[in-house]
Amino acid sequence: MRLLKVELLNWASYKGLHTFDFSSTKNRNGYAIFGNNSRGKTSFTDAIKWVMYGEAFTKAVMGTDGKESRKRRPLVSAQQEDNPLLNVHSFREGVYDLMVRIIFSHEGTVWTLARVVAPDTPIVGDDNDLGFYLGLSSETERLENQNAQDFINNLLPKDINKFFFIDGESVNEYRALIANTEQNLEIRKNIEDILNFPILKRGAADLKEVTGQYMTKLSKLSKDTNKNRIRREKIDKLEGEIAQAKSYMTESQKELKKAEKEHDTIESKLGLYKETEKLIERQRGNRKLISAANKSQNDTYTLLKKENKDLWLYFLQPSLKQKISLLAPELEQLSEIRYSISQLNQRSRFLLNAHQGEKTPCSTCHRLPEPRDKEQKKLEVVELDDIAIKIQQLNESLDDHKQSSELYNSLQQFNTANRLDTAEHYQERLGELQGEIELLNEEQSEIKDMLDGLDDKEIEVLKNKLEEIHAIILNKRGLTRRLENQIELLTKEMSDNRRALIGSDGSDESTQLRTKIKALEAMSRLWDIVSDKYAQETRVVIEEKATETFKSLTNNPDGYEKLELNSGFGLKIIDSDGYVIPAPSPGAQQVVAISLIDALRQTSDIDFPIIFDTPGASIDKEHRDNIIKHFWSKRDTQFIILASSGEFRPDEVEKDNKALLAKTWQLDFNSGVNSTIVTPRLQ
Partner 1 sequence: MMSKDSEWNLLAVIEESVKELDDPNLPPELVKKIYKILQKYQYRTNRDRPRDLIARLIESHNWGEP
Give residues in contact with partner 1 (CB under 8 A).
Answer: 150, 153-154, 157, 195-196, 198-200, 202-203, 205-207, 209-210, 213-214, 508, 511-512, 515-516, 518-523, 525-526, 529-530, 533-534, 537, 541, 545, 602-605, 607
Which C-beta is closer to partner 1: that of 516 or that of 649? 516
Which C-beta is closer to partner 1: that of 208 or that of 232? 208
* Cα 164 to Cα 610: distance, rounded to the nearest angstrom: 5
CB of 215 to partner 1, least distance (A): 13
* Cα 126 to Cα 665: distance, rounded to the nearest angstrom: 34
Helices (H) then strands (E): counts for the chain = 15, 16
Please say whether the beta carbons of 570 and 640 come within 8 A: no
Which C-beta is closer to partner 1: that of 44 or that of 527? 527
Which C-beta is closer to partner 1: that of 59 or that of 533? 533
Q: Is the dihedral of CA 505, 509, 511, 517 positive or negative?
A: negative
Question: Hey, is 61 helix, strand or coil?
Answer: strand
CB of 508 to partner 1, least distance (A): 5
Which C-beta is closer to partner 1: that of 214 or that of 631? 214
Which C-beta is closer to partner 1: that of 90 or that of 190? 190
Which C-beta is closer to partner 1: that of 250 or that of 392? 250
CB of 214 to partner 1, least distance (A): 8
Which C-beta is closer to partner 1: that of 355 or that of 514? 514
Q: Which is nearest to 420 in space by CA: 317, 321, 293, 294?
A: 317
Which C-beta is closer to partner 1: that of 150 or that of 467? 150
DSSP string, 409-456: HHHHH--HHHHHHHHHHHHHHHHHHHHHHHHHHHHHHHHHHHHHTS-H
CB of 506 to partner 1, least distance (A): 10
Which C-beta is closer to partner 1: that of 208 or that of 355? 208
CA 409 to chain centre: 70
Which C-beta is closer to partner 1: that of 544 or that of 654? 544
Which C-beta is closer to partner 1: that of 25 or that of 146? 146
DSSP string, 76-108: --S-GGG--SB-HHHHHTT---EEEEEEEEETT
DSSP lists the bridge partners of residue 33 as 642, 665
Q: Strand 639-643 and strand 30-35: pairing?
A: parallel
Which C-beta is closer to partner 1: that of 119 or that of 157? 157
CB of 531 to partner 1, least distance (A): 10
Contacts by residues 583-587 (CB-CB < 8 Å, ≥ 24 positions apart): 586/618, 587/618, 587/619, 587/620, 587/623
Please say whether the beta carbons of 104 and 638 come within 8 A: no
CB of 221 to partner 1, least distance (A): 13
* Cα 585 to Cα 358: distance, rounded to the nearest angstrom: 102
> Cβ contacts of residue 357 below 8 Å, gap of 6+?
none
Q: What are phi and psi of 670, to 5 degrees?
A: -105, 110
Q: Is the dihedral of CA 525, 528, 532, 534 positive or negative?
A: positive
CA 11 to chain centre: 28
CB of 64 to partner 1, least distance (A): 33
Please say whether the beta carbons of 150 and 595 come within 8 A: no
CB of 634 to partner 1, least distance (A): 11
CB of 235 to partner 1, least distance (A): 21
CB of 516 to partner 1, least distance (A): 5
CB of 133 to partner 1, least distance (A): 21
Q: Strand 639-643 and strand 661-670: pairing?
A: unpaired
CB of 630 to partner 1, least distance (A): 15
Question: Hey, is 110 helix, strand or coil?
Answer: strand
CB of 512 to partner 1, least distance (A): 5
Could you tell me where the beta strands, DSSP code E, fall in 107-228? 109-119, 130-137, 142-144, 165-167
CB of 154 to partner 1, least distance (A): 6
* Dihedral (Cα; 510, 515, 520, 525), 10-degree rounding: 130
CB of 565 to partner 1, least distance (A): 15
Which C-beta is closer to partner 1: that of 88 or that of 215? 215
Contacts by residues 330-335 (CB-CB < 8 Å, ≥ 24 positions apart): 330/401, 330/404, 331/401, 331/404, 331/405, 331/408, 333/401, 334/398, 334/401, 334/404, 334/405
CA distances, 118 to each of 128, 130, 149, 279 (Å): 11, 6, 19, 45
Which C-beta is closer to partner 1: that of 292 or that of 519? 519
* Cα 311 to Cα 300: distance, rounded to the nearest angstrom: 16
Which C-beta is closer to partner 1: that of 526 or that of 682? 526
Q: Which is nearest to 669 in space by CA: 92, 31, 35?
A: 35
Please say whether the beta carbons of 204 and 524 come within 8 A: yes
Measured N-to-C along each axis, helices 197-221 and 185-194 cross at an angle, to the nearest 10 degrees, of: 80
Q: Is the dihedral of CA 312, 317, 319, 323 positive or negative?
A: positive
**Order of strands, sheet of 98-106, starting from the edge strand that comes earlier in the sequence:** 14-21, 2-11, 98-106, 109-119, 130-137, 142-144
* Cα 447 to Cα 437: distance, rounded to the nearest angstrom: 15
CB of 654 to partner 1, least distance (A): 29
CB of 505 to partner 1, least distance (A): 13
Which C-beta is closer to partner 1: that of 376 or that of 511? 511
